[in-house]
Structure 1
């Protein structure tokens, strides 16, 4: 491709980030490439340069907390095409990435030919996910329930899973304890559970930290 694109590679592993940097540089002629190794540095970069054409996002960066980073970025930058690059290639992970608004999914095991094909497809305006993902039917609505949570509710749910008390969560998020209770009520309603134990068990049934 001869058009010039600005692409951000967000991954906390220097070796893989460098390898992906070289691969993208070879795949996209003349591309302007930026790198980020945490969610905080990524957001700072996106705020500084609003003309990013594509974000290649790893799910396991510091601050991202599994799918939380994708959810936050999708809400904060609704027009930014985000393609998740992950070593987790399970259909359930890919479906969840898709349900949270990613524009594509590229397995880290992809070879150069596959990477070039995926990048060209995405930059051409077409979503790109591995073949056959939509052929798998969900056995229940867990992913839809999780996807219905707001970023703040998602944070609260993960803090519940870490064993934090309402007061501790309120302190960490710099809100009142009453606000946390309101979030929990909404979380329980959306997940169809009655208490925090059931909510945590539900969360553990899907791998959000991959």
Structure 2
């Protein structure tokens, strides 16, 4: 697997690249080759080489500028092979504006996941493993903020929303809030087995693979399609 790691903090970029290669056997079933680059221009050069990388980890603030989602927009415009891009950022889920930037990256510019540079080492390791396994990964604290800052639509609009029945929609909204199967069962007064069954139906109807992807679909629908500010962080 060929990976491009893009970050203008050169020491951090090299260190993360070396870490990924050193722990490749723990993170991926296939060998990993990581190329660290420090500018957006160089990243665009690398992604246009043949063959292109299989995966890109991209910092949103490059070239000493706070570009925010515009960095990903620019990169995707020059990414003809549609190489999957994971946002690796110092943005924090405690800041409303920065949460909206992350939401825009996922919703509008097809980011395949989020890694927080300031997050816990163990969580980042788990996230890397899931991403290298082909999953979409978002840290729990970011997913919870996505759900918390989304406005719920009226009850009449919710019925059969996204093709889900009212009960499936109830479970879907709980998934979007980041609740566990046990918490959903307690809140809806059903069994955990029932929650698992309904969750599988939801994944199938939404054509998603896991809870994170289902949560993103439901949160996007709850947001009503309104576009947040795409300005720099």
TM over 0.5: yes
The answer as to 2:136 corresponding to 1:136 is no
Deviation per CA, 1:149-193: give whole Å up to 9, x if none: xxxxxxxxxxxxxxxxxxxxxxxxxxxxxxxxxxxxxxxxxxxxx
121-130 or 92-101: which moved more? 92-101
1:52 match: 53
* Superposition deviation, residue 85 in structure 1: 0.8
- Unaligned 5+ segments in structure 2 are 26-30, 94-98, 152-226
The answer as to 2:72 corresponding to 1:65 is no
Describe the SS at the equivalent of 1:97: helix
- Unaligned 5+ segments in structure 1 are 140-201
1:93 match: 101
The answer as to 2:41 corresponding to 1:40 is yes
Describe the SS at the equivalent of 1:134: helix
2:129 match: 120
Is 1:57–1:82's contact at 8 Å kept on the other side of the alignment?
Answer: yes
Is 1:39–1:64's contact at 8 Å kept on the other side of the alignment?
Answer: no
Describe the SS at the equivalent of 2:22: helix
Written as runs of structure 1 = structure 2, the 5 A alignment for 1:105-184 is 105-131=114-140, 132-138=144-150
Tell me how far apart the structure 2 counterparts of residues 128 and 79 of structure 1 sit (CA, whole Å): 18
Tell me how far apart the structure 1 counterparts of residues 46 and 111 of structure 2 sit (CA, whole Å): 19
Aligned residues: 144
Tell me how far apart the structure 1 counterparts of residues 139 and 114 of structure 2 sit (CA, whole Å): 7
Tell me how far apart the structure 1 counterparts of residues 52 and 11 of structure 2 sit (CA, whole Å): 26
* Superposition deviation, residue 124 in structure 1: 1.8
* Superposition deviation, residue 138 in structure 1: 3.7
2:11 match: 15
Is 1:10–1:56's contact at 8 Å kept on the other side of the alignment?
Answer: yes
Tell me how far apart the structure 2 counterparts of residues 112 and 49 of structure 1 sit (CA, whole Å): 33
* Superposition deviation, residue 207 in structure 1: 7.0
Structure 1 runs of 4+ off > 6 angstroms? none
Tell me how far apart the structure 1 counterparts of residues 49 and 68 of structure 2 sit (CA, whole Å): 24
* Superposition deviation, residue 83 in structure 1: 0.6
Q: TM-score, normalised by structure 2?
A: 0.54
Deviation per CA, 1:40-91: give whole Å up to 9, x if none: 1111111124331110100011288332221132233263111111111233
